[in-house]
Structure 1
Amino acid sequence: MHPFGPEATSAPHPLYARLREEAPAHEFAVAPNFNAWLITRHDDARRALNDPRLSKNVSGAPIRTSGGWPVELRAAMDSHMLSNDPPAHTRLRRIVSSAFTARRIADLRPDVQRISDELLDGFAGRDEVDLIGEYAFPLPLAVICELLGVPMDDRDSFRAWSNTIIASALAQGDALAAATAMNDYVRELVERKRAQPDHALLSALVTAADDGERLTEDELTSLVFLLLLAGHETTVNLIGNGVYLLLSHPEELARLRADRKLLSPAIEEFLRYESPVKTATLRIATEPVEFGGVTVPAGAVVMVSLLSANHDPQAFADPERFDPARADNQHLAFGHGIHYCLGAPLARLEGEIAFNGLLDRFPKLRATQPLDELIWRPGALLRGLDRLPVMLS
């Protein structure tokens, strides 16, 4: 069975258990004329995520040069931290960190609460909603737009572009048109923020510098793409997957309703058990790298399975048991090392508010269909449901 095929999409955990047992690294065909090595064990994954021999500069990989995307557009989308190694990565992360501070994230709490409340208010008088499309998706998108300073009137366009790009990131046609439109919009927005700065993150990024060196236009637009597509989508899946897990384990849902102090460790268990990012972004081996006696050759593309690593029995006691009170939960859902997700605190904040809102308002929340009939979205990168229809009362 292929690790990114239909059966593995709906039920990945048994397959990953078998892969972990068989070997520390496996070579698979990801696309025509494009193979990659998949790392599945926790210790190997942790090491691979921070190994300087596994470069994040994958611009020459076949999967990055296919699809007919113009070079200029790729530069506007890929000139961010996740696509660079030190020293370029160090410079970019330092500039972004100077603007994307813990204080800025903490100050977003009232906005996140307001957005969550408004979305939940919209469910008044309704018996059934799709929690993905009507809550898990719009909440973090609105937060990202608030964070960046995207005007309210433009947010529907942002949502449409985001939906199209995520649904078909390697295709031509609609996805290419959406990426082009978003790039044009972001460049114009940057110019507006430069001329009329405000207190939002994008204005701070326009003026932030490292030893006097500011972000280039491509770096600015790439960062917006990264925040919108990567940061937003992971939170969608955190909320959707977390609700799915609670509905799958009603006794744990009841415990959480009774004791909200369990919410913080529960969010970490959501992140571990159904990791929002299934596989870390691509790396290329700049020299041979060994994993448990298996050598990945120089020039090979490497993919790290965060979902598999987070179910490794060598790292987690009874990993197939969903345990919202799990202690010392050293999951890799946000990565590890120098590329550890800068937006992790924001995702946790959004998760806390999102789950508290649902638990407070809907004591009879339940699924409208058998949970094993829900559809998981295909693809190698993300782990999330297509829809999650629920009854509210």
Structure 2
Amino acid sequence: MTEVAQPQVLSWPLKRACPFSPPSEYKALREEAPISRVRLPSGMQVWAISKLKDIRTMLTDPRFSSDRHQPGFPLIAEGVEAISGFRASLNEMDAPEHGPKRREVLGEFTLKRIQTLRPRIQQIVDDQIDIVLSSGLPVDLVSTLALPVPSLVICELLGVPVRDQEYFQTRTQAMISRTFSHDQRRQAFDELLDYFDELVTEKEKNPADDLIGRLIAKQRAEGGVRHREIVELGFLLLSAGHETTASMISLGVVALLEHPEQLEKIVADPRKTMDAVEEIARYFTVAEAAGARVATADVELGGVLIRKGEGVIPLSSLGDRDPEAFQNPDTFDIERGAKNHIAFGYGIHQCLGANLARMQLQIVFDTLFRRIPCLHLEGSLDEMPFKDDSEVYGLHELMVSW
């Protein structure tokens, strides 16, 4: 067990020199010191883990807590990560508390349950592609397709009025963008939390057949509605349930158009689209900081001593490019067949909505390239506004034509 001596502490995150690859400085870390100290935008120094096996070990070790109120938890930026009195429901719970709470809503996200949403998701995608086709060229695929589809789907699932779509989109984007000040991020957080408080209050009076309504009815039958718990769960599902999927849609379109030989495979055989979805998820790993933890005891990990109270972040994009786990990991190959990536997390906090995200991506890619077979990018990769300023990697805008 060793203490790592590192003469220079790198900052995290660094801007990607290539939009399709993690920063080269982090690749060097994986080769030279897979568990190293990095400095966050908040000024904190924490441990960064870059090998897939070490990340998986950390995410399944109960001595690493996901509770953001624990001393030493990695605060990515000075903003809304650890606000007194707020818990992002499942996202901040450790075992044994986490298991029963997750099981309360797990039934809403089983593959069988999600399959019942397929016709509605297909209709939403078709409607948005109608808007794309009726727009003047070039058209921004982020604002017309990539963002509206998951936003409308999560609205449908939770019972959030569609008319409020723009309201929660702007607040969510403010919360995850590092270009916003502390006060702006906090204001966006407060406004979105207040929104859900009002929404749940209304649904307690008039429960509907949606996720929030069914949860209210279930808790009422068990003895009483836990209002704050439902507010925080709704907040988590809404804020996390559309931005990551939107990013994977836009990045996936770019990756497929930039690799036409891969696109041809799914056009010729749509059965391969789900393989493409897995590869897109692995290749980009858009929500890298989602696995942040803090040690609650001294832990040896990968031969390095991590002390109690020290923060840890998994460099998940590096883990998903680990040559020890993936052959030719920097190659975009939809026939790779690798499902051992951690783009949707790992362990007890694996993304609750992974099945829903996969289905949306599959339907979007199959429908988009069938209905607009001549789709092409406007401009080069170097000209595209990638989200290097956000905690969810993606594109601010994606201009296309046909």
Task: Give the TM-score taking structure 2 as reference length.
Answer: 0.89
Cα RMSD (Å) of the superposition? 2.6
Secondary structure at 1:295's aligned position in 2? strand
The aligned runs of 1:30-109 (5 Å cut-off) are 30-59=40-69, 60-61=71-72, 64=75, 67=78, 74-76=84-86, 78-109=87-118
Moved more, 124-133 or 212-221: 212-221
Matching residue within 256, 261, 275 for 1:265: 275
Residue 167 of structure 2: which of 142, 150, 157 is its match?
Answer: 157
The answer to whether the 8 Å contact 1:183/1:221 transfers is yes
Q: Is the 8 A contact 1:132 1:387 kept in 2?
A: yes
Runs of 5+ unmatched residues, structure 1: none
| Alignment correspondent of 2:147 | 137
- Report matched runs for 1:260-339 at 5 Å: 260-339=270-349
Give the aligned partner of residue 125 of structure 2. Answer: 116
In 1, distance between residues paired with 2:179 and 2:74? 11
Structure 1 residues 202 and 101, CA gap change in structure 2 (3 angstroms): farther
Following superposition of structure 1 onto structure 2, how do residues 349-388 of structure 1 map, counting pairs within 5 Å?
349-379=359-389, 381-388=391-398
How far the C-alpha of 1:70 sits from its partner, in A, is 11
Provide the C-alpha distance between the structure 2 equivalents of 1:26 and 1:166, rounded to a whole number of angstroms.
Answer: 25
- What SS does the corresponding residue of 2:317 show, helix, strand or coil? helix
Corresponding residue for 1:25? 35
Q: Percent identity?
A: 35
User: Relative to structure 2, which stretch is displaced further, 164-173 or 223-232?
Assistant: 164-173
Shift in Å, 1:370: 0.9
- Supply the distance in 2 between the matched residues of 1:19 and 1:69 (Cα, whole angstroms): 29
Q: CA deviation at 1:131?
A: 1.4
Q: SS at 2:85's partner residue? A: helix
Task: Specify whether residues 68 and 4 from structure 1 end up closer, same or farther in structure 2 by C-alpha distance, changes over 3 A only.
Answer: closer
Equivalent of 2:186 in 170, 176, 185: 176
- Tell me which amino acid in the other structure corresponds to 2:90: M
> Take 1:333 and 1:225, find their aligned partners in 2: how far apart are those partners?
21
Write the letter of the residue equivalent to 1:176: R
Task: State the distance in 1 between where 2:72 and 2:227 align.
Answer: 24
Say if 2:59 and 2:346, in contact at 8 Å, map to a contact too.
yes
Normalized against structure 1, the TM-score is what? 0.91
Following superposition, the deviation at residue 197 of structure 1 comes to 1.2
CA distance in 1, matches of 2:224, 2:278: 35
Q: CA deviation at 1:17?
A: 2.4
| Distance verdict in 2 for CA 1:244–1:278, change over 3 Å | farther
Whole-angstrom distance in 2 between the partners of 1:121 and 1:385 = 22
Shift in Å, 1:107: 1.8
Distance 2:85 2:253 in 1: 37
Looking at structure 1, the residues matched to 75 and 180 of structure 2 have their Cα atoms a distance apart, in angstroms, of: 8
Q: Is the 8 A contact 1:99 1:208 kept in 2?
A: no
Describe the shift of the 1:252–1:345 C-alpha distance in structure 2 as closer, same or farther (beyond 3 A). same
CA distance in 2, matches of 1:230, 1:215: 23
Distance (whole Å) between structure 1 residues aligned to residue 250 and residue 184 of structure 2? 26
CA–CA distance in structure 1, aligned partners of residues 108 and 360 of structure 2:
19
Contact persistence 1:248–1:371 (CA under 8 A): no
Structure 2 match to 1:2: 11
Q: Counterpart of 1:347?
A: 357
Q: Which amino acid aligns with 2:145?
A: Y
Gaps of 5+ in 2: 1-9
